Structure 1
Amino acid sequence: MSALRTWGRDLAMGARFAFGGGREGWTRTLLTGLGVGIGVALLLITTSLPNAFAARDARGDARGLYNAQDLPQPGPDTLMVATANQTYHGRDIGGVLVKPEGPDAPVPPGLKTLPAPGELAVSPALDRLLKSAEGALLRERLDGKVTQIIGDAGLIGPHELYFYTGHDLKKADGGEFGQYRIKRIDHYAIDLEQPATSPVLLLLVLMTLLALLLPVAVFIAAAVRFGSERRDRRLAALRLVGADARMIRRIAAGEALAGALAGLAMGVGLFFLGREVVGNMDLRQRSFFPHDLTPSPALAALVALLVPAAAVLVTLFALRGVTIEPLGVVRTARPSARRVWWRLLLPFAGVGLLLPMLGQGSDNGEFNQWLVSAGVVLLLVGMTALLPWLLERLVRGLSGGPVAWQLAVRRLQVNSGTAARLVSGVAVAVAGAIALQMLFIGSRGDFIEDTGHDPARATAVVFTDKGELADELARKLEQSPGVTRAVPLRSTSASRQPAGGGDLLDVTIGGCAALKELAAIDSCTEGDVFQVAAGSDMPTARAGDKLFLGRVTTAGPQAPRPVEWTVPANLRTVHGGTHPTGGSSSGLLVTPSAVPRELPGFVHASIGVMTDTSDGDAMEHVRTAVFKADPFAHALSLRETRTDSSYASVQTGIYFGAAGVLALIGTSLLVSQLEQLRERRKLLASLVAFGTRRSTLALSVLWQAVLPIGVGLVLAAAAGIGLGLLLLGMTGYPIGVRWTPVLTMTGIGAGVVTAVTLVSLPPLLRMMRPDGLRTE
């Protein structure tokens, strides 16, 4: 018989034992399939993320406006558009104002027709928000009639808040507000040129993927060994009827292969169920449509091939140290000591691959992603290889103590490999998370910058180019609930020539209270004029100078002509300060009565707003008043720091992935724990029958979990700190241990294991009943 036929026959026999070997056989296969299936589902979801992000980006580009060409003349197929993005209780709301200029004006994706003035087309999530009690204040702002719901093709995610509304947009020459935001287009689908990604950010993405996928692989490897002790005893019976050692290994591989294939089928089912769940999730306003989560055929085929192959290889590897004889399994005797030399080779090889990357980063080129990936994998996998040896060395010398402690220690002395396998996935997840968080915290300075804002002086600043609205809008804002102060400032430009020449001076117009916020002014009355002290290379003005106020850089045919103005004789020089937004004051500071009453259209305004921070709706009232007065106006909330959007996206991905991995850890550990208890059911029932207290057995099970997880978490913390230090050295950031992520991630890992152990106590108590001694 050929080798291929021999393998096929023995693998088929193993599959028959897996599915037709009675309750024990199919129970083991079911548990193996469930453990593998959970891992496969997470792998499929992870491999679907590139397609999901690509689909989001494609839909975003399909409705893109930011890089659109501004057409000079209207036509039958042109459309006037302007962005009108909003914020509501910390949630971003995308908005577009539209005005068709002809019957063939382009309709954005997801809409059937363009909304008319007073009409709204909203996303399903925004429609739900507007109809809810939570959206009461938003309904005051977006008070148009909802006539359409935007379809999936026009949204980047199912939970996106987005709207289109009709508006009487106008294109005008001169400084009319919002002209830079009003565009005339004849089609959508504007591609944005993506900026180059920072090497450090790429390293963060790579580390995130490795930290999420490695625990999955470890759990799948552990799942295919569920019930291995009972399987080996069954294989010993086959040796008794004439099977040789090689045939036994092939049968065991076939049984593992059957469980892995069942796990693949379960994993596909869990994947389709999981992506529906993911489609209902909204984390930091990032969401996916379920159909976006579709793995590429190549990656799906790779998972389908690797999982069964890994099941066979892990089974054959596990049987290398087990002698299955006709009268029993030699593994029940005292096992030989594990060797450590080859276990150390893996982490040392990983460190060796990472050392050449030291000193790289944004200033020194790109990282070699293959070397980084291989180094991280070897380091973390080497840690899982060290864990059984460390646990064995620890429990070998333990003795004495309470009965529960002795039962736990003896169990680990007889077979510590099973416990180490259960903990290894947690250890890998914790070590990867510690290293990732250390890199994340170390790189914050590159992606979180200080804005220079001073929230103590103003909660928000409203910007508008309609300077004539400044005083009226400030009064409306002061009347809004939760607003304690609104200080308007107008600004324009001044030059000694009416158009296209001469040095430009900034002219800021406001009341004395407002001007004192911008400079060190000791006394001020209406009619005063101040000049901020400037360097020798900065333009200045003197009393009696003739200046032109308004649009003095260029002169369009419809632009308002600048107004001539003579600098008053009471001009005083003062030392400048800063605006609440962080900008330095310069040029001339003028009280309203010192300038002509009718200024040209090129006048900007900013209104500093202070709100009652205890009123959570105060800023929403501000934004509503601003949008009602002018939909182009922008209310900027002042914050001390600003986070890079790509960095924030990676952070969101970490949260998504961490949630999935934690779910996998908890579920897989629970399944593993139940499988271990099921194998020891008769032993537990026997101990109870001989008078052992149930509380003693329950406490022994707890100790059996605490000891391995303690060793695993210490090893994980050490490996995570070491890997984190290497990553910091690679990126050029200051090297130092960040204890917060170390303690946090270690605590989470311990909490997950403790919770799983506590959940498994009720089944444990049921297994201690006398009927556990029943056999077939």
Structure 2
Amino acid sequence: MIRFALRLSLAGGREAAIRLVIITTAVALGVGMLLTTLAGMNAVGAQNQRYAWLNTAVAPPSPDTSADPMWWLIREDYYHGRSIGRVEVAALGPDAPVPPGIPRLPGPGEFYVSPALGELLRTTPAAELGDRFPGHEIGTIGRTALPSPESLLIVIGRTSTELEQLGARQVTQIMDTSPSGCNGCYVGINGDGMALVLSVVAAALLFPVLIFIGTATRLAATRREQRFAAMRLIGATPRQISVISAVESAAAAMAGTAVGLGLFFAFRPGLATIPFTGEPFFATDLSLAVVDVLLVALGIPVGAVVASWLALRRVQISPLGVSRRVTPKPPRAWRVIPLVAGIAELAYFVGRRPDTTNGQLTAYLSGFLLILIGLVLAGPWLTMAGARVLAGRASRPAALIAGRRLSDNPQAGFRSVSGLIVALFVTSVATGTITTFVANRGEPRTDSVAATSLSKMFWPEDGPAPTADQIPTGLETIPGVRSVTVVHRNPAPDGWHGLITCAELDRLAVFGSCRAGAEVAAVAGDLIGMRAFDLTTDTYVWEDAGIAASEVDRQPILSVVVDTTSRSAFEQARTMLINAFPRERFPASVGEWEAASAQQLIQFQRLANVVMLASLPIAGCSLAVSVAGGLSDRKRPFSMLRLTGMQLRTLRRVVALETVVPLLAVAAVAIGAGFLAAHLFLRSQLDYPLLPPHLSFYLMVAGGLAVSLGIIASTLPLLGRITGPETARND
């Protein structure tokens, strides 16, 4: 039976060959996407493992006394917004542990650098970067210690006395536990969270691909059903029919799996450059385990067989099922209930946010899931409602015919575009939420004072505050430095931590102002604070500190804030402050801190964009296959219509409306539901109103829909070739 099924599939003429090619293409896309997701999960794990050694100070003391201790200090520095990992070490014996990637510990006045940082040091003026690092370069950090090809890392040798004064910690082992499995690690990726996100991406991509496979399987379904029904009538069993239909899909699926493997390895170098985790991967990080390959090689053909079986299940039930064709029952309005219930649940929690994290997850995730399920269930009913409106308002024959056909079988019209629901809904929710969050609490504008000024803080736990004569006088002479401001510590236990006179605030002009009649303002230590979340104006009014201006200079210094007009001046000032005050946290801008905190959200937005950009063309291909299959099945009726005088362009309008209307309707409903869900979530969780997405979102949607419509339009010339008079005469 398998041999007969292969012969029937491969020797079935041009129609069978086209069907096999389309199924192979669909499977290849699915395999490529699935392999990319699995390899991405492996790459996240590999990259995270190479972050492990940077968490060495987190490791508990080793019980092994054979290793000599060493001083260890790690801090984060920045250059043009890019994070630099700075590790400073000093051996306390010949058997001190050595970090990966270097042959030995650097001595005082020596350092190792990553290739990317080494290139920066060679191309950047020393006053902006190189002068921060004492000593000279003696080697390059090897790949085993680099999370990414673009990682900026440096390992600096110091004396024991220097590191003890800088607050370093003694360690006797190098951390080798991945940050995902480490309690208290502060450098690395949440590998479990990223794996979960990538799994959602894989599901969102595979859903339209499986629909594509099912649609391709139904190509020329009418003729195949008639053939299978004839086999049933002459004695073929349902099991034999299932084998015949499954063999065709399995053969195409295996070929598609091989093509998909080839596509993955061909595009792997390019995929590795995409910074899913904030930094690109090494190409070899995108690796596949034997289990991954077996899972895909076996799972995808099985999925294709199931899709084939579901597409042709009617013939397997009864040999007369093909001839007993009636208009399907119209979908009922109850399908809208889950959609309305999901929206109502999210709306209920506006002003009633659950107190616990688990309660919030349960409330919001269940609401999103209900809406998504509701969209899929309500799709046929919405398609039917739209089709009836189209038919009721039709003023031309094409609109009337298309509307009637869609309303008679809305399930078939919705089936081809249902894969868009997941992609557009997920993308709309992610885009709306992330855009609003970043606008309210993300990276400030590059021209705002939060991005152009940097601050060096001196907290009480860091030791004695510096005196005024310790602040480098050269800061004010750097070209491009607009102001150098000293903020003093506020003795009041509550309110803002800093003090500055109102006269100084007025002179600076860009850091806000005082209340009327006040002499001293209570300010944030960096003169920005929470204002970074809303820097649309420089007229922020600080609270009155309630003390005399003459008392300010008597308080310890809390920070030095330098405002600049150029990136060069910004980095020179940072270098000068690092060298003057090498203890604790290095100076940085609020913009850099906020950009780092928003980085993961931006990564999720990239993944959401990938889902949308990949799903829209796939949905277009599904529609194109559906159109081609529908034309093949209806060529005789269309031929008869042409013989009665209907023009070819009218028939093309009918076909275009039958496909374009569901596509645009589903896109509009999914995007609208996504933005509504995002708005309700933001109001409930953060009390933010939804902000309009950036123009890039609309351009991506429009571009994806344009590609999909172009794919559909490419099938319309087929109508003229298959609806000639000879078709009506011969069929």
Query: Structure 2 length normalisation: TM-score?
Result: 0.71
Structure 1 residue 189, shift from structure 2 partner: 0.4
SS of 1:164's equivalent?
A: strand
How many residues end up aligned between the 2 structures?
Answer: 670
Aligned identity (percent) is: 25
| Residues 688 and 768, structure 1, Cα contact 8 Å, conserved in 2 | no
Does residue 619 in structure 1 map to residue 612 in structure 2?
no
Change (3 A) 1:344 1:94: same
Q: Deviations over 1:235-266 (max 9, x none)?
A: 42354464647243442233233333434334
Report the AA paired with residue 308 of structure 2: T
| Residues 220 and 630, structure 2, Cα contact 8 Å, conserved in 1 | no
| Residues 115 and 164, structure 1, Cα contact 8 Å, conserved in 2 | yes
Does residue 185 in structure 1 map to residue 157 in structure 2?
no
Change (3 A) 1:42 1:656: farther
| Residues 26 and 213, structure 2, Cα contact 8 Å, conserved in 1 | yes
Change (3 A) 1:749 1:319: farther
Matches of residues 468-617 of structure 1 in structure 2 within 5 Å? 471=469, 474-488=472-486, 518-519=500-501, 577-578=522-523, 580-581=525-526, 606-612=559-565, 615-617=566-568
Gaps of at least 5 residues in structure 2 are: 505-517, 530-542
Structure 1 residue 217, shift from structure 2 partner: 2.0
Structure 1 residue 461, shift from structure 2 partner: 1.8
Does residue 755 in structure 1 map to residue 707 in structure 2?
yes
| Residues 215 and 622, structure 2, Cα contact 8 Å, conserved in 1 | no
Query: Residue 163 of structure 1: which of 144, 154, 177 is its match?
Result: 154
Structure 1 residue 421, shift from structure 2 partner: 2.7
Query: Residue 453 of structure 2: which of 456, 459, 462 is its match?
Result: 459
Q: Return the alpha-carbon distance in structure 2 between the equivalents of residues 147 and 237 of structure 1.
A: 76
SS of 2:416's equivalent?
A: helix
Change (3 A) 1:414 1:29: farther
Matches of residues 96-245 of structure 1 in structure 2 within 5 Å? 96-117=87-108, 119-130=110-121, 137-138=128-129, 146-168=137-159, 170-171=161-162, 176=165, 179-180=166-167, 182-189=168-175, 192-194=182-184, 210=200, 213-226=203-216, 228-240=218-230, 242=234, 244=236
| Residues 119 and 147, structure 1, Cα contact 8 Å, conserved in 2 | yes
Does residue 318 in structure 1 map to residue 311 in structure 2?
yes
Residue 618 of structure 2: aligned partner: 668
Change (3 A) 1:260 1:637: same
Structure 1 residue 430, shift from structure 2 partner: 1.8
Q: Return the alpha-carbon distance in structure 2 between the equivalents of residues 624 and 697 of structure 1.
A: 72
Report the AA paired with residue 577 of structure 1: A
Q: Deviations over 1:26-81 (max 9, x none)?
A: 4322322322332333334434555444433332223324425799xx99833333
Q: Return the alpha-carbon distance in structure 1 between the equivalents of residues 451 and 265 of structure 2.
A: 52
| Residues 55 and 185, structure 2, Cα contact 8 Å, conserved in 1 | no
Does residue 431 in structure 1 map to residue 425 in structure 2?
yes
Report the AA paired with residue 421 of structure 1: R
Change (3 A) 1:22 1:642: same
| Greater fraction of residues in helix | 2
Residue 27 of structure 1: aligned partner: 18
Q: Return the alpha-carbon distance in structure 1 between the equivalents of residues 480 and 370 of structure 2.
A: 57
SS of 1:423's equivalent?
A: coil
Change (3 A) 1:743 1:663: closer
Q: Return the alpha-carbon distance in structure 1 between the equivalents of residues 193 and 67 of structure 2.
A: 49
| Residues 275 and 290, structure 1, Cα contact 8 Å, conserved in 2 | yes
Query: Structure 1 length normalisation: TM-score?
Result: 0.68
Q: Deviations over 1:180-223 (max 9, x none)?
A: 2x233332107652499xxxx99999788547624522431332
Q: Deviations over 1:378-411 (max 9, x none)?
A: 6524422332343234325645445775686577
Residue 37 of structure 1: aligned partner: 28
Structure 1 residue 373, shift from structure 2 partner: 6.9
Alpha-carbon RMSD across the aligned residues, in angstroms, is 5.7
Residue 509 of structure 1: aligned partner: none
SS of 1:108's equivalent?
A: coil
Does residue 287 in structure 1 map to residue 280 in structure 2?
yes
Q: Return the alpha-carbon distance in structure 2 between the equivalents of residues 291 and 407 of structure 1.
A: 55
Q: Return the alpha-carbon distance in structure 1 between the equivalents of residues 309 and 84 of structure 2.
A: 56
Residue 372 of structure 2: aligned partner: 380
Report the AA paired with residue 483 of structure 1: V
Residue 528 of structure 1: aligned partner: none
Matches of residues 326-341 of structure 1 in structure 2 within 5 Å? 335-340=327-332
Structure 1 residue 318, shift from structure 2 partner: 2.9
| Residues 214 and 377, structure 1, Cα contact 8 Å, conserved in 2 | no
Q: Return the alpha-carbon distance in structure 2 between the equivalents of residues 742 and 482 of structure 1.
A: 32
Change (3 A) 1:69 1:183: farther
| Residues 109 and 154, structure 1, Cα contact 8 Å, conserved in 2 | yes
Residue 356 of structure 2: aligned partner: 364
Structure 1 residue 92, shift from structure 2 partner: 1.0
Residue 262 of structure 1: aligned partner: 255
Structure 1 residue 154, shift from structure 2 partner: 0.8
Q: Return the alpha-carbon distance in structure 2 between the equivalents of residues 171 and 136 of structure 1.
A: 23
Change (3 A) 1:273 1:130: farther
| Residues 620 and 707, structure 2, Cα contact 8 Å, conserved in 1 | no
Q: Return the alpha-carbon distance in structure 1 between the equivalents of residues 6 and 292 of structure 2.
A: 26
